[in-house]
Amino acid sequence: MSNADYEENQKAYWAKDIAVLLDVTTSNLRRWSIDLEKAGYRFYRDEHNRRAYLEKDIMPLTKLKEFLSNNMSKNDAIKAVISMFPVGNSTSLTIPVNDDIIRLSKSELSEIVKEAVREAVEEEREAMFKVFEHKISNELEQRDRLFMENLHTTLETKRLEIAATKEKKWWEFWK
């Protein structure tokens, strides 16, 4: 595998990820990167010209942090890192950055959130309508059942009264 193939197959990271890894601020990492680039070190860039850090860049940055924490001057630390990790014939190759995070603008994110909320509200509304519909249906069934029971009871009472009246003699109506 050639050096170029090796570099193309490395995972790339954003500054935020490397800053967390090195336990430095992103602004310090950016300044170090600019200083290293001025000294000839090459970082790869994504399609939007943002700096992407490959696995091969972690060790030089770690060494730079170590040198600076041991009170070495910034210029000497940069020179030491460049001498330890020669750049070679690195071209400004653009590679895709492997990142699990999708980057969106505020308006895109806002639109996605609005759509998700709209869908969630619609689903909730549908669920509430179904529950309400079911409850109303049950209430109506119960009301109809009670009404029919009362109707049957009333009819049965009337039938019994009519049957009892037919059995009475005509002179017993006034008793």
In a domain, 90, yes or no: no
Are residues 79 and 48 part of one domain? yes
Local confidence band at 44 (pLDDT 50, 70, 90 cut-offs): confident
Residue 93 lies in a domain: no
Residue 101 lies in a domain: no
Residue 62 confidence (pLDDT): 92
Over the stretch 56-65, which tens digit does the pLDDT of each residue have?
898 999 999 9
- φ, ψ of residue 77 to 5 degrees: the values are -65, -45
| Residue 97 belongs to a domain | no
* Cα dist from 167 to 110, 128, 157, 175, whole Å: 84, 58, 16, 14
Query: Count of domains in the chain?
Result: 2
* 143 inside domain: yes
Q: How confident is the model at residue 171 (pLDDT cuts 50, 70, 90)?
A: low
Per-residue pLDDT at 175 exceeds 60: no
Q: Which domain holds residue 70?
A: 3-84
